[in-house]
Amino acid sequence: MASQLRRHYWHSEGAKSVGGVPGFGGYVKQRRSWFALVTFCATTVFVVALALTIIFVTATAAYALAAAFSPSPQEFSGVISDSHCMGRHIMNDKSPEECTRLCVTQGSKYVLRPAPPGE
């Protein structure tokens, strides 16, 4: 509505007195120049671009710091066995791999034992 776009203002000349207060009432249309509109739009774009730049730089710095302080990958060497046999593999009729799998299915845990010298 056009009446919603208008603002109340205090005016002493030609305004009605309301409730004993002189000069209250009347409406004024706001006239803004095209320059004010362009300035408002440019300022809004600048603020949004600045905010996005700050977010991007902060995220990049956080990612770089996280990558710099993360532990490096570790290498392990040895033979995978189970906690029951510990590499001795009591079952002579099975290969070490089959013995390990069978012991693990019966409740043992996988372990990594050092490789014997010469392997």
- Strand-pairing partners, residue 79, are 113
pLDDT, the chain, mean: 79
Environment class of 81 (CB within 10 Å of its CB; exposed 0-12, middle 13-18, buried 19+): buried
What residues does each domain of the chain span? 1-31, 33-69, 79-113
**Cα–Cα distance measured from residue 48 to residue 40, given in angstroms and rounded to the nearest whole number:** 12
pLDDT band (50, 70, 90) for residue 57: very high
Label residue 25 by pLDDT band (50, 70, 90): low
Average pLDDT over residues 78-87: 84
Under 8 Å between Cβ of 86 and 104: no
Give the separation between CA 79 and CA 87, rounded to whole angstroms: 8
Query: Measuring CA to CA, how many Å separate 40 from each of 5, 34, 36, 48, 50?
Result: 19, 10, 6, 12, 15
Confidence of residue 19 (pLDDT cuts 50, 70, 90): low
